[in-house]
Amino acid sequence: MIRLQNVTKIYHPDIKALNKVNLHIRPGEFVSIVGQSGTGKTTLVKTLIGEEKVSGGKVIVGGWDITRIGQSEIPVLRRQIGVVFQDFKLLPKKTLFENVSFALQVCGYPVKKIKSIVPQVMKIVGLEGKMNRYPQEVSGGEQQRTVIARSLVHRPKILLADEPTGNLDSINTNEIIDLLLKINKFGTTVVLVTHNREVVNQLRKRVITVENGIIVSDQAVGKYVL
Amino acid sequence: MFIVSFLRVIKFSIQDIARNIWLSIATIMILILALFSVNMLLTVDLVSKAAIESIRNKIDVNLYINPSADENAILALKAEISNINQVKDVTYISKDEAMNIFQQRHQNNPEILEALRELGENPLTPALVIKPKNIDQYDSLINALNAIDNPIIQSRNFEDHKALLEKVNNISHKVSEAGLIISGIFILITLLVVYNAIRVAIYTHRKEIGIMRLVGASNWFVRAPFLFSSVIYAFIGVLAIILIFYPFLSLLQPYLEAFFIDYQINLISFFNSHFLYIFGLEFLGAVAINGIASLIAVGKYSRV
Ligand SMILES: Nc1ncnc2c1ncn2[C@@H]1O[C@H](COP(=O)(O)OP(=O)(O)O)[C@@H](O)[C@H]1O
Ligand SMILES: [Mg+2]
């Protein structure tokens, strides 16, 4: 599903964020990527969605070589990958429903389809009862669940979550992780970037550890080893 | 799907304008100023053309004839002048006709008419009124007329119409030049202001744009609302200038009529008969200028 071959990313002028990274993630996997701050985890996520071009190596997503992807193809890629970042990128003046439907609106979906898809994904994340609230009227966990709902509207094969629990307390964190596991059970490949030792240790799933742009360990049932 | 997207682009565009309403208003104001100066330029051009035309019509050369001259000699002279290359036509105005014209011209002035009556006889001289074919040949016409040596010619009145014409020409050129420069400056300012407005609109919407890109909105969908905003600016600007310029023209009209006493000039009917041409072209021009400005802004700032 995801394959990195000798991927190197150098930021101007000479910051080596990724250094010859090789990685293979199979369809349906749940993979945690851990590592200290500034080791290149976010950069890795960005290369997968075409936001950063790699300086060397090859990035293949779903059999598609996106290494030298054109500007006009990026939207096609983005509709196949759901992305969740740490800072909840919700629009404060729109309700949760409107926030999720925004993603479909801007991709040209007709109103009828939007009205059927949005309640479905809101139900998946357990927010079908709060769709008409504004972001500031719900908890941080519920905001992040809305972001996850939004990332699911295109039924992506891959969900990338970059520190989705970074701003949340432990209860909300567990809710989000449970939600990611649920989405993974539906068959979606989930890549979770996290700092959280307990989360990783409880998961008992594959763990990839990154250090200074290099993968230093890759365990099938891993622990947080730093 | 395309129509749905297009309608959404329009909706987003109107939201963009509304969210920065004061900036939008200021932008449209500048656009209106630019359009106003362009229309002013056009008006000045029309008026000066009319002025030149009216002077051209008035330009004629009078040859005054000795009152005691024989009718046949006068007709012979008329025929001779008619044969000059540069002459369009020659009219013979006899003593009596001159009198008629004089009385008609001063019919509202009883004192002059009274004085004339007291004089007892017709003091006016007959004349040959010569219209030149082409005003540019005025000089050679004068030379040709000067060359005629005929004793029945009492005096020659060659007013220097040409100098006047040149003056009007000069003034109108200078006014047009100034207008062109002012319009150019306004157009340049419009470019900058529209560019800035779109830049600010993009900045205000950076979060939306970021989300759009993240969820896979196409590039054109991200950019189209901003480009469309510039079309809306152009549309409102031209609409406003139509509403502003017609009252302005009707304010101007009486002054023009007073100035061009015996020459028909009607700016409003000119603008009416060329309405689509003038304002359509101005709309297209405004769309082009705004489009360029917003394209540059969008290209530069909408990569999130
Ligand atoms: N846009 C950028 N320009 C320059 N350097 C960057 C940029 N983004 C990240 N970096 C640098 O690349 C390194 C890796 O960053 P990042 O991938 O964000 O790490 P992580 O997500 O693991 O904290 C850091 O040293 C960071 O300063
Ligand atoms: Mg990071």
Say whether residue A157 is in contact with chain B using an 8 A CB cutoff: no
Does A89 sit within 8 Å of B207, measured CB to CB? yes
- pLDDT tens for B269-288 read 899 999 999 999 999 999 99
What confidence score (pLDDT) does residue A21 get? 95
Give chain A positions within 8 Å (CB) of B217: 75, 106-107
* Res. A40 pLDDT band, cuts 50 70 90: very high
Instruction: Determine how β-strand A189-194 pairs with β-strand B61-65.
Output: unpaired
Mean pLDDT of chain B: 85
* Res. B1 pLDDT band, cuts 50 70 90: low
Give me ligand 1 centre to Cα A79, in Å.
25
Give me ligand 2 centre to Cα B249, in Å.
64
What confidence score (pLDDT) does residue B112 get? 80
Q: Whose CA is nearest to atom 27 of ligand 1?
A: A38
- Closest CB to B4 among A74, A108, A153: A108
Do residues A101 and A73 make contact, with C-beta atoms less than 8 angstroms apart? no
pLDDT greater at residue B293 or residue A88: B293
What confidence score (pLDDT) does residue B170 get? 84
Do residues A207 and A223 make contact, with C-beta atoms less than 8 angstroms apart? yes
Q: Is A15 near ligand 1, meaning CB less than 6 Å away?
A: yes
Which domains can be identified in chain A, with CATH numbers? Answer: 2-87+155-219 (3.40.50.300)
Does A75 sit within 8 Å of B219, measured CB to CB? yes
Q: Is A86 near ligand 1, meaning CB less than 6 Å away?
A: no
What confidence score (pLDDT) does residue B25 get? 94
Instruction: Determine how β-strand A158-162 pairs with β-strand B127-132.
Output: unpaired
Does A71 sit within 8 Å of B208, measured CB to CB? no
Question: Which of B12, B32, B33, B16 minimizes the C-alpha distance to B24?
Answer: B16
Q: Is the pLDDT of residue B165 over 80?
A: no
Q: Is the pLDDT of residue A222 over 80?
A: no
* Res. B19 pLDDT band, cuts 50 70 90: confident
Q: Which residue of B214, B222, B304 to mutate against A (max A Cβ within 10 Å)?
A: B214
What confidence score (pLDDT) does residue B171 get? 81
Residues 6+ apart with CB under 8 A from A79: A107, A154, A156, B215, B216
Q: Which two tokens stand for residue A46?
A: 């960005």
Q: Which of A19-28, B10-19, B47-56, B204-213 has the lowest mean pLDDT?
A: B47-56
- Closest CB to A91 among B208, B218, B222: B208
Question: Which of A103, A212, A155 minimizes the C-alpha distance to B8?
Answer: A103
Q: Whose CA is nearest to atom 24 of ligand 1?
A: A38
Instruction: Give the pLDDT mean for B35-62.
Output: 82
Its sign, for the CA torsion A142, A148, A154, A155, is: negative
Does B214 sit within 8 Å of A78, measured CB to CB? yes
* Res. B176 pLDDT band, cuts 50 70 90: confident
* Res. A148 pLDDT band, cuts 50 70 90: very high
Give me ligand 1 centre to Cα A17, in Å.
6
Q: Is the pLDDT of residue B156 over 80?
A: no
Instruction: Determine how β-strand A158-162 pairs with β-strand A189-194.
Output: parallel
Q: Which amino acid is at A7?
A: V
Say whether residue A129 is in contact with chain B using an 8 A CB cutoff: no
Q: Which of A51-60, B77-86, B124-133, B135-144 has the lowest mean pLDDT?
A: B135-144
* Res. B262 pLDDT band, cuts 50 70 90: low
**Hey, what CATH class is B67-151 in?**
alpha beta
Atom of ligand 1 nearest to the CA of A39: 22
Instruction: Give the pLDDT mean for A115-124.
Output: 96
Do residues A69 and A77 make contact, with C-beta atoms less than 8 angstroms apart? yes
Q: Is the pLDDT of residue A226 over 70?
A: no
* Res. B82 pLDDT band, cuts 50 70 90: confident
Edge-to-edge order in the sheet of strand A56-61:
A15-25, A2-11, A56-61, A64-65
Q: Is A17 near ligand 1, meaning CB less than 6 Å away?
A: yes
Q: Is A151 near ligand 1, meaning CB less than 6 Å away?
A: no
The separation between CA A222 and the C-alpha centre of its own chain, rounded to angstroms, equals: 20
Q: Is the pLDDT of residue B304 over 60?
A: no
Q: Is the pLDDT of residue A174 over 60?
A: yes
HEC profile for chain B? CHHHHHHHHHHHHHHHHHHCHHHHHHHHHHHHHHHHHHHHHHHHHHHHHHHHHHHHHHCCEEEEECCCCCHHHHHHHHHHHHCCCCEEEEEEECHHHHHHHHHHHCCCCHHHHHHHHHHCCCCCCCEEEEEECCHHHHHHHHHHHHHCCCCCEEEEECCCHHHHHHHHHHHHHHHHHHHHHHHHHHHHHHHHHHHHHHHHHHHHCHHHHHHHHHCCCCHHHHHHHHHHHHHHHHHHHHHHHHHHHHHHHHHHHHHHHHHCCCCCCCHHHHHHHCHHHHHHHHHHHHHHHHHHHHHHHHHHHCCC
What confidence score (pLDDT) does residue A142 get? 95
- pLDDT tens for B184-229 read 898 898 889 889 988 988 898 888 999 999 999 998 899 899 999 9
Do residues A15 and A32 make contact, with C-beta atoms less than 8 angstroms apart? no
Give me ligand 2 centre to Cα B41, in Å.
59
What confidence score (pLDDT) does residue B137 get? 75
- Where exactly does CATH 3.30.70.3040 map onto chain B? 67-151
Q: Is the pLDDT of residue A126 over 90?
A: yes
Torsion angles phi and psi, residue A74, rounded to 5: -60, -45
Give chain B positions within 8 Å (CB) of A106: 8, 211-212, 215, 217, 221-222
HEC profile for chain A? CEEEEEEEEEECCCEEEEEEEEEEECCCCEEEEECCCCCCHHHHHHHHCCCCCCCEEEEEECCEECCCCCCCCHHHHHCCEEEECCCCCCCCCCCHHHHHHHHHHCCCCCHHHHHHHHHHHHHHCCCCCCCCCCHHHCCHHHHHHHHHHHHCCCCCCEEEEECCCCCCCHHHHHHHHHHHHHHHHCCCEEEEEECCHHHHHHHCCEEEEEECCEEEEEECCCCCCC
* Res. A178 pLDDT band, cuts 50 70 90: very high
